[in-house]
Structure 1
């Protein structure tokens, strides 16, 4: 009888070693590690992953399959439920590091079976719901970033001068003050002052579009 630890690493901030350390700290004595890297738990079923499918080949009756949490097996409700039930039918015990849950097919009591199956379904549904929530948040963030980018392009480049500098430059120009003197007084570049002088309406509109 072997204890096999399965890890799925889908992002750069996750590591197999981190998941294994957590398992050992929880008291698990691991005989073998099977891991998949950069594989989605949503779109790729456990049996279709390079290493996940090996679990179906190597797990035998009496073995224990350890995972950090159910979402490491997958984030698809049907796939996770089907995989756990298949392992239990083979006599494999599934245990989680987080919450220390145990799932096996040994019990014959219908009430205990119902409670076990309900918990499996709940955890699988939670894994999928969490994944969908993350994807939705990501889509929202991307949409917001695109909207801001579009808005920025529409408004054009942000003015290099403030409203106060604009007003001061206009007033000094109307007084006939020289460009160098205005530059010294407002700390604006000569190019900015020329732009305000020659394209005052556009400069004013640019400030307004940026809420300045």
Structure 2
């Protein structure tokens, strides 16, 4: 039986996750991190990765909530798709699955991922 889950992330414990919870529906399991998206070393992300099975779907409010590093973002989406897991980014209206290869969606993922990485660099500076 496939699961529908939501991944939520904010950069610090004092930030509000309320906006991201708008995509959560009854019965969805939520994985929530309160740490930087500059690394994939995150407790809830690790739990999500272990939880997922073929046929599952992961919903994420926006691309920058999944990762603030383009290579990490692409790696995570590829990892999930190789497991047979679909990834849905709501703000950008993009869906990635193992049985759907869409060159325009991949380009948009790369553009939005690069912007997220740039924003993080500017915040860090």
TM-score normalised to the size of structure 2? 0.86
Which residue is 2:29 aligned to?
Answer: 32
Contact map agreement 2:59 2:88 (CA 8 A) in 1 = yes
Q: Which has the higher helix share?
A: 1
Rate the CA distance shift 1:98–1:29 in 2: closer, same or farther, 3 A: farther
| Aligned partners of 1:5 and 1:30 also within 8 Å | no
Q: Which has the higher strand share?
A: 2
Q: How does 1:69-148 map to 2 (within 5 A)?
A: 69-107=62-100, 112=102, 114-136=103-125
Q: Quickly say closer, same or farther: Cα 1:95–1:57, change in 2 above 3 A.
A: same
Larger radius of gyration: 1
Equivalent in the alignment of 1:158: none
Q: Report SS of the residue matched to 2:100.
A: coil
Q: Determine if contact 1:3/1:29 at 8 Å carries over to the other structure.
A: no
- 1:3 is matched with which residue? 4
Q: Distance in 2 between matches of 1:30 and 1:86?
A: 24
> Which residue number corresponds to residue 23 of structure 1?
23
Large movers: runs of 4+ above 6 Å = none
In structure 2, the CA distance between the partners of 1:121 and 1:130, relative to structure 1 (3 Å rule), is: same
Q: How many residues align?
A: 123
Q: Secondary structure at the match of 2:9?
A: strand
Give the TM-score, by structure 1 length.
0.53
Gaps of 5+ in 2: none
Unmatched segments (≥5 aa) in structure 1: 137-212
CA shift for structure 1 position 51? 1.2
Tell me the secondary structure at the aligned position of residue 33 of structure 1.
Answer: strand
1:57 aligns with 2:50: yes
**1:107: how far off?**
2.4
Structure possessing the higher relative contact order (Cα contacts under 8 Å, 6 or more residues apart):
2
User: Conserved in 1, the CA contact under 8 Å of 2:62 and 2:89?
Assistant: yes
Query: How much is the aligned-residue C-alpha RMSD, in angstroms?
Result: 1.8
